[in-house]
């Protein structure tokens, strides 16, 4: 879906990801994806992503070609301490400059080891080196130094390949340098729409054909139990028109117009209303609690959770009566409700969630297939239970069930459940 009639000319960016593990298929190239969407947001046109092995000659060839065809080249990976990490050597070699030591980074690394009561291994010193023509970029989540090089009209940025380190550095160190180097760059206007409880084809249907009459860049991203829309345009009236249409057509499925998570949004609501939450999980095995406590500050509203895997734990810790477990079995609406209401009462929380189901691959019985999950939410006023079927592998069923529980809680909170 592209209509570039009204689009500005955009500077070109290329992404070069280094590492044998990418070419051997050992890891997924999440860095290329992250950088693609960040550069789009900043206003670049990314016209190639190249993955290249840990090999000086190949890195130099690909880098040289990338630099010739782009205003911005971002390189990630190959900055580790081992001999196969050769990215910094390749880049210094390309520019015919020596590598020099950052004393600031070296003492940071030394302190890192000291704080752990360990001696710094000699080969780690390499991670404080950068090409003489570069500006060091200080990584504070890990020990590998990044760097950036201003080459005429062009900007080169070299970052470690560890995703959390790279992502933090892009947002904190690279973005300001990019904005400075390309002062005329205007990011595209972005409309972010986070929806839950609706599938990708349903979103498309609800948006309708006339939604695409305006020229804009359209991205639809299905994830576990969620669909995110990211719409980009250079034109404010178009952005406003799109927003109005989205609000009218997807209203009850939108939980945020920003990059956030459902667990985070639920946290905000609970905090604002001074309410608390407790969860009792069986088949999701702690995943729901883990998603809730992944949010900073969740201790304000999250009382705690219990993973009641065995029936004995359900009986002893959640007072599920043995006869209900016997007659209705563990995977039943009755047990889900019992779990939600007992964990709520016993942890003295405003809301309780209970989940019981069959995550698979084994454990299915007659009339109880893998993927069958009962979800219960109990509030001070009401109790509600849902029967769901989730497809996929064990971890997919677990992730979908945990997300669905958050969806029902969010709906409940919105409707003053």
Of 134 and 403, nearer to a copy of itself (C-beta) is: 403
Identify whether 196 is preceded by a cis peptide bond (ω within 30 of 0): no
Q: For residues 300-329, which are near a copy of itself according to CB under 8 A?
A: 302-310, 312-313, 316-317
Considering the rule CB under 8 A, would residue 49 count as an interface residue with a copy of itself?
Answer: yes
Q: For residues 167-206, which are near a copy of itself according to CB under 8 A?
A: 168, 200-202, 204-205
Of 134 and 233, nearer to a copy of itself (C-beta) is: 233
Distance between CA atoms of 356 and 399, rounded to whole angstroms? 13
The closest of 7, 3, 158 to 85, measured between CA atoms, is: 158
Q: For residues 69-88, which are near a copy of itself according to CB under 8 A?
A: 80-84
Check residue 386 and report its DSSP letter: E
| CA dihedral (401, 403, 404, 406) positive or negative | positive
Distance between CA atoms of 285 and 399, rounded to whole angstroms? 10
- Distance in Å, CB of 211 to a copy of itself, minimum: 11
Cα of first residue to Cα of last residue in the chain, in angstroms, is 40
- Distance in Å, CB of 133 to a copy of itself, minimum: 26
Distant-in-sequence, close-in-space partners of 367: CB < 8 Å, separation ≥ 6: none
In the list 23, 99, 100, 364, the residue contacting a copy of itself (rule: CB under 8 A) is 23
β-partners of residue 76 are: 17, 159
Distance between CA atoms of 277 and 298, rounded to whole angstroms? 10
β-partners of residue 89 are: none
Considering the rule CB under 8 A, would residue 95 count as an interface residue with a copy of itself?
Answer: no
In the list 221, 244, 273, 380, the residue contacting a copy of itself (rule: CB under 8 A) is 221
Assigned token pair, 213: 């009459």
β-partners of residue 190 are: 232
Considering the rule CB under 8 A, would residue 144 count as an interface residue with a copy of itself?
Answer: no
Of 142 and 352, nearer to a copy of itself (C-beta) is: 142
Rounded to whole angstroms, the maximal C-alpha distance in the chain is 78
Distant-in-sequence, close-in-space partners of 297: CB < 8 Å, separation ≥ 6: 267, 271
- Distance in Å, CB of 307 to a copy of itself, minimum: 4
Considering the rule CB under 8 A, would residue 108 count as an interface residue with a copy of itself?
Answer: no
- Distance in Å, CB of 284 to a copy of itself, minimum: 8
- Distance in Å, CB of 24 to a copy of itself, minimum: 5
Count of residues near a copy of itself by CB under 8 A: 104
- Distance in Å, CB of 241 to a copy of itself, minimum: 20
Phi, psi angles (nearest 5°) of residue 281: -120, 145
Q: For residues 224-243, which are near a copy of itself according to CB under 8 A?
A: 230
Distance of CA 242 to the CA centre of its chain: 25
Q: For residues 241-270, which are near a copy of itself according to CB under 8 A?
A: none
Distance between CA atoms of 399 and 357, rounded to whole angstroms? 12
Contact 373, 401 (CB under 8 A): yes
Phi, psi angles (nearest 5°) of residue 197: 85, 20
In the list 51, 178, 196, 340, the residue contacting a copy of itself (rule: CB under 8 A) is 51
- Distance in Å, CB of 98 to a copy of itself, minimum: 23
In the list 220, 254, 269, 364, the residue contacting a copy of itself (rule: CB under 8 A) is 220
Of 310 and 380, nearer to a copy of itself (C-beta) is: 310
Q: Which stretch binds a copy of itself (CB under 8 A): 152-160, 248-256, 296-304, 376-384?
A: 296-304
CA atoms within 13 A on the CB side of 368: 18
- Distance in Å, CB of 311 to a copy of itself, minimum: 10
Of 72 and 347, nearer to a copy of itself (C-beta) is: 347
Of 132 and 300, nearer to a copy of itself (C-beta) is: 300
In the list 10, 18, 22, 231, the residue contacting a copy of itself (rule: CB under 8 A) is 22
Contact 27, 33 (CB under 8 A): no
- Distance in Å, CB of 326 to a copy of itself, minimum: 18
Q: For residues 338-377, which are near a copy of itself according to CB under 8 A?
A: 346-348, 359-363
- Distance in Å, CB of 388 to a copy of itself, minimum: 9
In the list 5, 9, 25, 274, the residue contacting a copy of itself (rule: CB under 8 A) is 25
Contact 263, 71 (CB under 8 A): no
Distance between CA atoms of 344 and 339, rounded to whole angstroms? 8
């Amino acid at each position: 879906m592209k209509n570039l009639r009204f689009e500005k000319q955009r500077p070109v960016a290329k992404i070069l990801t280094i590492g044998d593990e990418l070419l051997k298929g050992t890891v997924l190239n999440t860095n290329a994806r992250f950088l693609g969407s960040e550069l789009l947001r900043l206003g670049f046109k990314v016209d190639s992503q190249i993955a290249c092995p840990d090999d000086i000659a190949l890195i130099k060839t690909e880098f040289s070609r990338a630099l010739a065809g782009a205003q911005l080249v971002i390189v990630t990976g190959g900055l580790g301490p081992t001999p196969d990490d050769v990215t910094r050597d390749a880049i210094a070699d390309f520019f015919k400059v020596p590598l020099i030591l950052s004393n600031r980074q070296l003492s940071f690394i030394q302190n890192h080891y000291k704080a752990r009561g360990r001696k710094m291994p000699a080969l780690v010193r390499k991670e404080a080196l950068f090409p003489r023509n570069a500006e060091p970029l200080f990584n504070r989540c890990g020990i590998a130094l990044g760097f950036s090089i201003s080459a005429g009209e062009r900007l080169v940025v070299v970052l470690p390949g560890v995703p959390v380190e790279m992502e933090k550095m892009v947002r904190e160190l690279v973005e300001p340098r990019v904005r400075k180097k390309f002062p005329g760059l205007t990011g595209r206007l972005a409309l972010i729409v986070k929806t839950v409880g609706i599938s990708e084809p349903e979103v498309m249907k609800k948006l309708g054909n006339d939604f695409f009459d305006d020229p804009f860049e359209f991205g639809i991203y299905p994830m576990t139990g969620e669909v995110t829309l990211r719409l980009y345009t250079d034109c404010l009236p178009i952005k406003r028109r799109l927003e109005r249409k989205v609000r009218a057509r997807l209203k009850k499925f939108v939980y945020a117009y920003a990059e956030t998570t459902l667990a985070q949004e639920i946290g905000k609501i609970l905090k604002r209303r001074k309410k608390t939450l407790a969860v009792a999980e069986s088949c999701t095995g702690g995943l729901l609690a883990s998603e809730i406590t992944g949010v900073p500050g969740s201790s304000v509203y999250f009382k705690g959770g219990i993973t009641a895997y065995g029936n004995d734990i359900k009986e002893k810790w959640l007072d599920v009566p043995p006869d209900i477990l016997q007659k209705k079995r563990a995977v039943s609406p009755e047990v889900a409700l019992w779990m939600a209401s007992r964990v709520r009462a016993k942890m003295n929380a405003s809301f309780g969630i209970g989940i019981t189901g069959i995550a698979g691959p084994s454990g299915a019985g007659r009339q109880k297939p893998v993927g069958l999950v009962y979800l219960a939410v109990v509030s001070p006023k009401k109790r509600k239970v849902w029967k769901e079927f989730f497809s996929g592998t064990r971890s997919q069923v677990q992730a979908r069930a945990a997300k669905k529980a958050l969806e029902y809680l969010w709906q409940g909170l919105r409707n003053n459940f």
